[in-house]
Structure 1
Amino acid sequence: MDKAHADVLKPQATRHPLAWVPTLYLAQGLPFYAVALVAGLMFKSMGVPNEQIARWTGVLGLAWVFKALWSPFLELARSKKRIVVALQVAGGIALACVALALQLPAWFALALVLLAVVSLASSTHDIGADGLYIASLTARQQAAYAGWQGAFFNGAKFLSLGGLVILAGVLEQRVGAPAAWSTVFGLLGALLAGLGLYHAWALPDTHRGGAAPASVRATAALLLDVIRAFFAKRGIWMGILFIVLFRLAEGQVQTIGPLFLRDARALGGLGLSTQEVGAIYGTAGTAAFLAGSVLGGYFTSWLGLRRAMLFLILAMNVPNLVFWYLSVAQPESLGLVTAALSAEMFGYGFGFVGMILFIMQVIASGPYQTAHYALGSGFMQLGFVLSKVVSGDIQQALGYRHFFLWVVLSAIPVLLLARFVRMEPAPEQ
């Protein structure tokens, strides 16, 4: 290999991976959880009805559905580092602007627009960050630091729900909801922009050197070929239906569950404070989810995907009955509520492994594996978004008790389909 070719492949900076891998994935997680989780709790505190919270936060998730369609075009840029830094700073500014918008009369519409900007910046940042990680590290290093990836991405959840939401709950009692949530989004924005500035120094660069980037036309042609090959896979439509139905119950309960905890007892909720909900989801709940994910991976590796899938679906859905129990009993013990939700989150983490492996091993098999995994992940997010968008209207129509029973019944279609869907890679065509 000549020196010019080597310069194309090797990063031009040699900082130790621990100087940037943890913070890179912390920066990937912060805006994602701000949109997916924190925004819903903020809207609840600001008096927005459940159906509007579910509908609009669901729509915001569409950016992660379609990001695979513009991911190839990021390869046209000569420096992944510049893309990543710019998107982190832009996302931080947009989050800080949410803090300002909450003080204005038209705060709801302005906040949605700004959160849409955050969603687009964050979903595009995912592509650049993962590409930078792959391009900057050897295969051995990628495996060695994969644990740091997951730990700090989920660390953003601990920080967002276990730290900043608890802070919002404390401030709500002292200065009111608008000022409290402005403080939280201001801190989120400052932290993300600060990470962007740090990464301007810390991230390795991946300049193409003397190699000319592909043209827009060639990239578009490649994208079309990737899409054609994806939909030409045998059994692909059954697989897509399985992916969408797999998340039917999850999208509903993960959207309405936190709102149920916050709603007044007279309305069928548990009447918990923002601080209490943050403590449950951000600490014990997240720890239970991570433990379930690790054990679910070992379980599936031991049993094999086809034999394990039924158990994974049940593990992800049967624990949703704890929400029905809580809606009926309306216990006042915070310890009991925490234990119940930890069991639900453990099952959620344990079962969700099945969807990741199904996409990785079945849907993404064959040529264009990385691109097809991105497309499969987009359909996975689409299933979540579709169920999330309608969840508020269903809950309003049924009430909490009957809604949580409906959520459990929502798992029946994917349980039936699991008997017929292919669970191994299709033979090469």
Structure 2
Amino acid sequence: MNPINDLARAALPTATRHPLAWVPTLYLAQGLPFYAVALVAGLMYKSMGVPNEQIARWTGLLGLAWVFKALWSPFLELARSKRGVVVCFQLAGGCALAAMALALQMSSWFALSIGLFAIVALASSTHDICADGIYIASLSERQQAAYAGWQGAFFNAAKFVSMGGLVMLAGYLEDRMGTRAAWATVFGLLGALMAALGLYHLWALPDTPGAARGKQGVDSVASTLLDVIRAFFAKPGIWLAILFIILFRAGEGQIQTIGPLFLRDARELGGLGLSTAQVGAVYGTAGTIAFLAGSIAGGYFTASLGLRRAMPFLIVAMNLPNLVFWYLSVAQPESLGVIAVGLGVEMFGYGFGFVGMILFIMQVVAPGPYQTAHYALGSGFMQLGFVLFKMVSGDIQGALGYRDFFLWVLVAALPVLVLSRFVWRYAPEAKLSAS
């Protein structure tokens, strides 16, 4: 019995749904488990009294699922139904999130929760591959462009739901029913939401068959994967490009991990002493809106100037606003409005600059006969840079304290700024000039 195929057959044959019936919900379902692991987990552990270095180390390790997903992505073509794969992994992720409600009541809750988050991460990263595959296979190029805005908007809406909704709810419930019960309720609701989306997509998603079948298909896919990897590492200047990609996220990986924990930590420990609900409010509302605005502005800026000329400005824009955290650690303002404005500036710069890395992978690293696969490999190295610096950020912050740590984050951005002068040597110049 194959549960993926059984689920695919269980869906009644229907006419193809309008893209708006499934594109927004598909990318909401892609974003919810990602942000649960990347952001919500850290704030839960902070509320439960876990030290910063352990939070950074373990949540960083969980991010490896998105680093290596390109290695098993070709084998998903062996499934008879991409819709069945998507639904299965949405339900699996939902069950793991709901099980967190029980795990948090156990004496070994920390180990159990890490195990469940690992299941969520693997399910989510694998789900992403087939979700993107359905989007590409089911829509024409014109439709892909037309609905790309919905795709990005609802992936980021998941951040708003997670940080602006669920984290605020957790903070509200912490004061009324205790920390463990509050977070158990939140993850129970999140699991139920994922399960509901999975059942809805059993009806709503278009079905796209896999390309390979049987043992011969496995051998063929494995051979193609080896070809893809060989071609990737044979690109001129690829190791310099990989180093650039990894270092690009040096500051971001640390600030996005420690920043929310700094906001939560007590003032006598150098933090701002905000409640869980307040952190959810400033990050999930003002922060998310500023990030989206920065992303849009960064795209237009880069299109007008050209990637090569824009890149130094994008690196500075992504890292210089981190001075906001140093200012907050020194001034320790009590006004939530001042803190929200500061974080808005930081998140705008983050969104503005991050565009540079997406375009660098797309225009410099990916071009060639395996463009899609090489984009996935480049994205994996991008995530690896985030994970590596995320994992060590807690230890560095513990050794330096918050003030000096935020200065260190600025220093960590200098190598990639220097490297940006040399990384274009083998770049396809035709794709890098402004049109």
| Same fold flag (TM > 0.5) | yes
Matched, 1:78 2:80: yes
**Alpha-carbon deviation of 1:208?**
5.5
User: In the alignment, is the contact (CA less than 8 A) between 2:36 and 2:162 conserved in 1?
Assistant: yes
Aligned to 2:3: none
- In 2: Cα distance, 1:204 partner to 1:351 partner: 35
* Shift in Å, 1:43: 0.3
Distance 1:208 1:326 in 2: 52
| Offset at residue 422 of structure 1 (A) | 1.4
2:177 match: 175
**Equivalent position amino acid for 2:292 in 1:** L
Query: Distance in 2 between the 1:302 and 1:128 partners?
Result: 33
Report Cα offsets for 1:15-50 as digits up to 9, x if no partner: 111111100000000000000000000000000000
Take 2:176 and 2:98, find their aligned partners in 1: how far apart are those partners?
21
Tell me the residue number matched to 2:116. Answer: 114
* C-alpha distance in structure 2 between counterparts of 1:374 and 1:55, whole Å: 24
What is the rounded CA distance, in whole Å, between the counterparts of 1:151 and 1:22 in structure 2?
Answer: 8
Q: Which residue is 2:428 aligned to?
A: 425
Within 5 A, what are the aligned runs for 1:22-37? 22-37=24-39
Whether contact under 8 Å (1:248, 1:410) holds in the other structure is yes
- Normalised to the residue count of structure 1, the TM-score between the two structures is 0.95
Q: In the aligned structure 2, how far is the partner of 1:346 from the partner of 1:385?
A: 22
| Structure 1 residue 12: Cα displacement | 7.4
Q: Does 1:313 align with 2:315?
A: yes
Number of corresponding residues: 416
Q: Among 86, 96, 99, which residue is 2:98 paired with?
A: 96
Q: So what's the TM-score if we normalise by structure 2?
A: 0.94
Matches within 5 A, 1:155-194: 155-194=157-196
Shift of 1:207: 2.9
What residue ranges of structure 1 are gaps of 5+ in the alignment?
1-10
Report the alpha carbon displacement of residue 425 of structure 1 after superposing the two structures with TM: 2.4
Which letter does structure 1 place at the counterpart of 2:43?
L
Q: Distance in 1 between matches of 2:46 and 2:213?
A: 50
2:350 partner SS: helix
Query: Do the aligned partners of 2:366 and 2:378 also contact (CA within 8 Å) in 1?
Result: yes
Structure 2 gaps of 5+ residues are 1-12, 431-435
- 8 Å Cα contact 2:76/2:210 also seen in 1: no
Preserved CA contact (<8 Å) 1:293 1:352 = yes
Separation in structure 2 between the aligned mates of residue 35 and residue 336 of structure 1, nearest angstrom: 28
Q: Which residue of 1 aligns with 2:16?
A: 14
Counterpart in 2 of 1:249? 251
Counterpart in the other structure of 1:7: none
1:409 is the counterpart of 2:411 = yes
Q: Is the 8 A contact 2:65 2:121 kept in 1?
A: yes
Aligned counterpart for 2:287 among listed residues 275, 285, 288: 285
Which residue does the alignment assign to 1:5?
Answer: none
CA contact (8 A) 2:287 2:344 kept: yes
1:160 and 1:208, CA in 2 relative to 1: closer, same or farther beyond 3 A?
closer
Query: Which of the numbers 379, 382, 392 marks the counterpart of 1:380?
Result: 382
Alignment partners' CA distance in 2, 1:114 and 1:394: 27
Asked if the contact 1:12/1:205 (under 8 Å) is kept, the reply is no
**1:146 Cα deviation after fit:** 0.7
* d(CA) in 2 for partners of 1:280, 1:182: 23
Report the equivalent of 1:345.
347
What code does the residue aligned with 2:45 have?
A: F
Q: In the alignment, does 2:219 pair up with 1:217?
A: yes
- CA distance, structure 1, for counterparts of residue 29 and residue 210 of structure 2: 24
Q: Which residue of 2 aligns with 1:396?
A: 398
